[in-house]
Amino acid sequence: NGSMATTENSERKIITGEAGYVLEDVPHFSDYISDLPTYPNPLQDNPSYSVVKQHFVDVDDSVAQNIVVHQDSPRGRHFRRVGPREKVYFESDDVHACIVTCGGLCPGLNTVIREIVCGLYYMYGVHKVLGIEGGYRGFYARNTIPLTPKIVNGIHKRGGTILGTSRGGHDTSKIVDSIQDRGINQVYVLGGDGTQKGASAIFEEIRRRGLKVAVAGIPKTIDNDIPIIDKSFGFDTAVEEAQRAISAAHVEAESFENGIGVVKLMGRYSGFIAMYATIASRDVDCCLIPESPFYLEGPGGLFEYIEKRLKENGHMVIVIAEGAGQELLSEIMHTMDQQDASGNKLLQDVGLWISQKIRDHFGKKRKMTINLKYIDPTYMIRAVPSNASDNVYCTLLAHSAIHGAMAGYTGFTVGPVNGRHAYIPFYRITERQNRVVITDRMWARLLSSTNQPSFLDPKKVKQSKEEGKLDTQLFNHAPKILNN
Ligand code: ATP
Ligand code: MG
């Protein structure tokens, strides 16, 4: 195509066309090994697919990152659309795939494993699929299990991951050695931000060695903190499960004089679970998230609001995301610099902290009887099997990853962008985190549904708005992203 230009460095492949069209492409084997795919896609003869109107996706179809456009706005960034291609890069008999899960638990891991195995078997007739046990280190330090549709059949009804998982460091070149020794040529990696960075490094090493091994990432984060994609799998399930904890807190709070229910939900840097659970439940009087700084004492502070709600209503429910208010805690705690095995900063338990602060304030200072119950449902939420919508979503992710790897794409991750699934380069999802934007409409909807204070100085908001700097100014005191 004469109007297209491709620029490429070791990481980025960007294709620009007319009218501001920019395709942020993922790597393909043809970039570093040899020619384009040559084998006819076995789906051609697949009875389930023979009825599909558009049998194969046009290789040049892309998905737009922005769909709300102004009449003069450029067409913006695009990503390559997922789906089966007419020609594939691997012959089914030659494929030896493996699956690994890393990082913390999240509902849906087993569903993705199941659908990768079944998809490879039933769509592409691939019969060699290996499960790597215990995360990245499993490649060289643990056992492997052969995966068949029979073995994975009912696993989506169980929480966790049948392969086991781990955090903490690993050795990229040992992993690639193991991939080479075992003759693996498709690697499916399920995991969070750390895992995707690891997958990107594995891909780079594979490309450096010139191997025909596809690396496909399936992004996992219960917090929904992965950018670009609409939402991450397990998130819906987590929000649904969080309702149960909020309901319990509400029942407890309602039943006692000045009852206060405090529920801590996941969300180290992003308060999506807390925000959506709050909006969904309608039993919550106050939702605190990392993106929205708050304060306790004085006019417009949390204590004042609690007292008001208790007077009006006799009880209240507070939802707090695990990363909220960390800047308040850090003043009194000295363990802020501790890290977990993967180098993530260890956060203080904000739920315990805020519960104690509320008890001290109302019991000691205000001499009020309050009945506070604190619920931390984190591990219960992470361990449940995925719900119906996440199961459907996980199936799409798994199939998209398979189609991409079969077609010769590599070093990519998959996910929905404005509702259409796309192949996204690793760097796009690891270079920043998705966070709740407190100047967006969704947070305004929450504030108007709970009626809680915004904890922002109205004068400062007005001034920032006039200066056209609303976002930057309000985020100045939000906690920095600590994960990188
Ligand atoms: P989550 O945080 O959602 O539980 P995660 O994938 O971020 O998931 P981590 O424990 O951070 O979980 O990492 C999992 C694996 O990824 C570990 O084996 C670790 O070695 C590897 N990893 C973490 N960070 C990086 C990085 N920056 N570069 C390469 N590999 C990494
Ligand atoms: Mg992580």
- Binding site membership of 259 for ligand 1 (Cβ less than 6 Å): no
Round to whole Å and give the CA distance between 362 and 306. Answer: 10
Residue nearest to atom 23 of ligand 1 (CA): 194
User: Residue 91: its pLDDT value, please?
Assistant: 96
Two tokens at 171? Answer: 């050795």
Q: Which of 25, 223, 225, 390 is catalytic?
A: 223
User: What is the predicted pLDDT for the residue at 277?
Assistant: 98
CA distances from 243 to 189, 227, 235, 265, 445 (A): 30, 25, 13, 11, 18
Please tell me the predicted confidence (pLDDT) of residue 122.
Answer: 96
**Residue 430 CA to its chain's centroid (Å):** 11
pLDDT of res. 332: 59
| Other C-beta atoms lying within 10 Å of the C-beta of residue 402 | 28
- The amino acid at residue 49 is Y
25 is catalytic: no
Q: Which residues contact 38 (CB under 8 A, 6 or more apart)?
A: 87, 89
Q: Is 170 in the pocket of ligand 1 (CB under 6 A)?
A: yes
Distance in Å, CA 210 to ligand 2 centroid: 29
CB distance 422 to 63 below 8 Å: yes
Residue 482 has a pLDDT of 34
165-187 b/e (C-beta count within 10 Å ≥ 16 → b): bbbeebebeebbebbeeeebbbb
Distances from the Cα of 481 to the Cα of 113, 138, 248, 344, 454, angstroms? 31, 30, 32, 11, 21
Q: Of the ligands numbered here, which is closest to the C-alpha atom of 339?
A: 1
Rg value, the chain, Cα: 24
pLDDT at 481: 35
Look at residues 397, 404, 350 and name the one whose alpha carbon lies nearest to residue 378. 350
In this prediction, residue 465 carries a pLDDT of 77
Burial (0-12, 13-18, 19+ Cβ within 10 Å), 35 = exposed
Q: Which residue(s) pair with 129 in the sheet?
A: 97
What is the pTM for the complete model shown?
0.91
In the chain, % helix, strand, coil (3-state, to 5) comes to 40, 20, 45
* Residue 5 phi, psi dihedral angles, 5° rounding: -130, 140
Q: Which long-range contacts (CB under 8 A, 24 or more apart) does 329-337 make?
A: 329/353
Q: Closest Cα partner for 40 from 80, 81, 82, 89?
A: 89
Q: Of the ligands numbered here, which is closest to the C-alpha atom of 218?
A: 1
d(C-alpha 394, C-alpha 402), whole Å: 12
Question: Ligand 1: which atom is nearest the Cα of residue 341?
Answer: 10
Mutation test residue for ligand 1: of 137, 342, 346, 434, the one with most atoms within 8 Å of CB? 342
Whether 223 is in the pocket of ligand 1, judged by its Cβ within 6 Å, is: no
Give me ligand 1 centre to Cα 226, in Å: 14
Calpha distance 182→155 (Å, rounded): 26
Q: Are strands 97-101 and 129-132 parallel, antiparallel or unpaired?
A: parallel
Which DSSP string do the residues of 253-318 spell out, in sequence order?
Answer: HHHSTTEEEEEEE--SS--HHHHHHHHHHS--SEEE-TTS----SSTTSHHHHHHHHHHHHSEEEE
Q: Over its length of 484 residues, how does the chain's per-residue pLDDT go in tens digits? A: 334 566 655 568 888 876 677 899 999 999 988 778 889 999 988 888 877 877 899 988 999 988 887 777 777 889 999 999 999 999 999 999 999 999 999 999 999 999 999 999 999 999 999 999 999 999 998 789 999 999 999 999 999 999 999 998 889 999 999 999 999 999 999 999 999 999 999 999 999 999 999 999 999 999 999 999 999 999 999 999 999 999 999 999 999 999 999 999 999 999 999 999 999 999 999 999 999 999 999 888 999 999 999 999 999 999 999 999 988 887 655 555 677 777 777 777 999 999 999 999 999 999 999 999 999 999 999 999 999 999 999 999 999 999 999 999 999 999 999 999 999 999 999 888 999 999 889 999 999 999 999 888 777 778 877 877 766 545 444 333 333 2
Beta bridge partners of 63: 79
